[in-house]
Amino acid sequence: MSPRLTRLIGQTGLYAVANAAIKASGLFIAPILLNTAFLSQAGYGQLEVLLVTAQLGIVITGMGIGWGLLKYLTDPSSKDDHAALPFTSLLMIIVCASLSLAIFVGGAPVIDRLLFGGGELTSAIRILGAYIFVKSVGQIPYMVLRAREHVGSFVSIVVVEVVALVGLVYVFLVVRGAGLHGVLYAYLLAAATGLLLLIVFVLARIDVKLNRRLVKRIFLFGAPLVAAHLADHVLKVGDRYILNWLTDPETVALYGWAGRLSNALNLVLVQSLQMSFVVLGLKSLGAGDVSLHRRTFRHFSIWMGWGVLALSLLALDGMHLLVNYLGVSSEYLKADPLIYPLSLGFLAYGAYLIVVNVLYARERTRLVGVVMLVAAVLNVLLNFALIPFFGMMGAAAATVLAYFFLALYTARIAEREANVGYPLSSLGVVVAVTAVMVLVAQPTADWAAAPRIAARLGLVLAYPLLVFLLRLYTLRDVREGARMAGQWWASARGRDRAP
């Protein structure tokens, strides 16, 4: 087992802790947000649109500066610039974030009319602008931690921020009854808590060195990625806008809840892998090694497929618990059929993140932006074509189709660049297996709870057997995995015993 793959698995596990904390915070606040006594279903739909707007605003405000910082901090050829990169990037992001804040504060009435057609949420838009400012500035110290592989510090600060979010949501909604505006204040104050910790433990320790030459270099690398990451967010959440325009806030609320459930896989598996792989993958390609990319693609496809299946089959009974015991509106049970297609979209997205690493290493960021933009346009067109006929399911289908186009076409380009040999057949088999098993489970939706859970859990546990029967994994893979686990355990014990 290569040292890089071992580090990838270890760092992915730590990042998974941070992302699991983020998802856990969502589960803790879900009974509050989905309880119409504290926030109406329409209000939850409006919150979804506002949070989507924040995500897009953070991407545009960031101007790819964080990604430029990450690229050159991990590039051995830029070693002489490493000391000046963090401070230079920080000043760049503060300027951009200040401009963004001015736009959201001054243009709040216009943004409100564009999103909701009225003037009732102008003050909420201004709170959102402050949130975007804080999160944008926080990108720089977070990227410094990632580039230097200080994963433990990264995780600790994220956990503090999400714990603060849970507590603040409870205070503003349950204790003070502040509704939608209270939720936004909770997000803002939690983000400010995280930024304060980053200032103390990261920014206070960087060298105060400004290199004007780096400004142009960072922009040239990062700016093309703005279009790519903006298109990426359109793929992930742009359908909320289209549903909001073509249907109503209640429909957006159902679709948004299904998206949040499927996003658990994105946070815990996809984003955790991406956070470690983007660094180790760049270093691996810099050393002329493509095996990490090939092996990661296969392992990710198989394990993510199991996660997609488990979430799709077991989420319904989890939602029943929320409805029966925590006061969540039963209307949200209608979101269940959307979970599988949205989760499948994240499977394709994770595959894309692995293959696109080759293009980052080759500095083909303009090509990344073009391909992502094409996928986003495809997604928007499919949404407008399918939503009028199929409603929420049409939006989910558009997302899946656009993500698979993105992953497969990018894999084709990356293969020409580096001749990695991605095992695309493994991804195809996983998709086929999970689709068949979800179809088999559909009739159990109307069964009593106990037999339904037993039947669906049986299907989930049958997945590993099918993986071996279809030879996605072999006994050799099991022996290699056991050997790696033993090496990791021995290394961990050695570190514990060190003086």
Q: For 204-214, what is each residue's pLDDT tens digit?
A: 888 888 888 89
Compute CA distances 302 → 8, 428, 469, whole Å. 17, 10, 13
Q: Helices 151-169 & 3-33, crossing angle to 10 degrees?
A: 0
Query: Average pLDDT, stretch 17-30?
Result: 73
Q: How many whole angstroms separate alpha carbon 253 and alpha carbon 226?
A: 28
Looking at residue 91, its pLDDT comes to 94
More confident residue, 475 or 304: 304
**Helices H / strands E in the chain, number of each:** 18, 0
Phi and psi for 254 in degrees, rounded to 5?
-65, -45
Instruction: Tell me how far apart the alpha carbons of residues 188 and 169 are, in angstroms, rounded to a whole number.
Output: 11
Mean pLDDT along residues 104-108: 96
Q: Take residue 96 and report the two structure tokens written for it.
A: 């951009």
Task: Considering only residues 27 and 114, tell me which one the structure prediction assigns the higher pLDDT.
Answer: 114
Confidence class for position 487, pLDDT limits 50, 70, 90: low
Confidence of residue 1 (pLDDT cuts 50, 70, 90): very low
Percent of the residues in the chain that have a pLDDT greater than 70, as a whole number: 91
In the prediction, which pLDDT does 365 show?
75
Arithmetic mean of pLDDT, 321-343: 91
Give the model's pLDDT for residue 495: 45
For 386, phi then psi, to 5°, come to -100, -35
* pLDDT in the model for residue 491: 56
Mean pLDDT of 283-307: 87
Q: What stretches of 15-163 adopt beta strand conformation (E)?
A: none
Cβ burial, residue 149 (10 Å; 0-12/13-18/19+)? middle
Residue 23: pLDDT band with limits 50, 70, 90: low
Asked if pLDDT for residue 429 goes beyond 90, the answer is yes
- Is the per-residue pLDDT at 483 higher than 60? yes
Best CA proximity match to 430, nearest among 314, 264, 303, 311? 303
Residue 287 or 96, more confident: 96
What's the whole-number mean pLDDT along residues 244-259?
91
| 147 against 84, higher pLDDT | 84
CB 313 within 8 A of CB 460: yes
Beta strands in 113-189 (DSSP E): none
What's the rounded Cα separation, in Å, for the pair 359 and 355? 8
Mean pLDDT computed over every residue of the chain: 87
Mean pLDDT in residue range 91-101: 96
Q: Which residues 6+ apart lie within 8 Å of 450 measured at CB?
A: none
Integer Cα distance of 396 and 374 in angstroms: 18
pLDDT value of position 311: 96
